[in-house]
Amino acid sequence: MLHTIFFDLDNTLYPKSCGVWEAINDRINLYIETVLQIHINEIPKLRVYCRENYSTSLRGLQSLYQIDEDEYLDFVHNIDLDSILPTDTDLYAMLSTIPQRKIIFTNSDTKHATNVLNALGVRGFFDIIIDVIAVKPYVKPHEQAFQKALSLSGLKSSEGCAFIDDMVENIEQAQQMGFLSVLIGDSDNGLLSITDILKLPHLLTSLD
């Protein structure tokens, strides 16, 4: 029986089209350019290297340049959420229909997650927020990050747990570990998927 659902945050609880990730992405590039003094033409290659070898820009830049974690997270999440992320009454209504325990599991930090949830008007639905600080030195999709998330949630295994995310590699890892794993987006590789988080209740009902 499904008892706990782990939700990713960015591009999962809100649509990619709203512009939050684009704003964060621009801030990451600005940090690399202004703080690390790396030429703008070199940034895309560096970002790809960090993602391929460390899964996130944060972990890659920590390893390569020993950046300050808190300073970086504050810098890249310093965006005007109020102007791009309105309260989502449809999301509120959808979450109201799901009786299972709900947990945020994100590669961002708790401050950003809280700001996003408050902007959407849904903070009260989530039992805890498990962020990139809580699972360090790991991040999704590392198996150890998922193991830490389970432990921090007071759970001994993934049995009875679902995981919702917009990144294929995260979904694949969770699936390997026994989570009921649902991709937000189109899947061409056989993964269980929905195009919109609002479709989650219908999917869960269909799996009963």
First to last CA, the chain: 9
Residue 64 belongs to what domain range? 20-76
Domains contained in the chain, number: 2
Tens of pLDDT along 7-49? 999 999 999 999 999 999 999 999 999 999 999 999 999 999 9
92 with 175, same domain?
Answer: yes
pLDDT given at position 208:
76
The CATH number that applies at residue 125 is: 3.40.50.1000
pLDDT given at position 190:
84
pLDDT given at position 4:
98
Q: Decide if 179 contacts 191 (C-beta within 8 A).
A: no
CB neighbours of residue 103 within 10 Å: 21
pLDDT given at position 186:
83
Take residue 133 and report the two structure tokens written for it: 């600080």
94 with 46, same domain?
Answer: no
Q: Decide if 122 contacts 129 (C-beta within 8 A).
A: no
User: In the chain, pLDDT over 90 holds for what percent of residues?
Assistant: 96
Instruction: State mean pLDDT over 78-104.
Output: 96
Tens of pLDDT along 125-180? 999 999 999 999 999 999 999 999 999 999 999 999 999 999 999 999 999 999 99
135 with 196, same domain?
Answer: yes
pLDDT given at position 197:
97
pTM equals: 0.94
Residues 32, 72: Cα–Cα separation, whole Å = 10
* pLDDT tops 90 at residue 189: no
46 with 103, same domain?
Answer: no
Closest alpha carbon to 146 in 168, 178, 117, 123: 178
123 inside domain: yes
Closest alpha carbon to 127 in 159, 162, 152: 152
* pLDDT tops 80 at residue 188: no
Instruction: State mean pLDDT over 175-190.
Output: 91
81 inside domain: no
Phi then psi for residue 8, to 5 deg, are: -65, 165
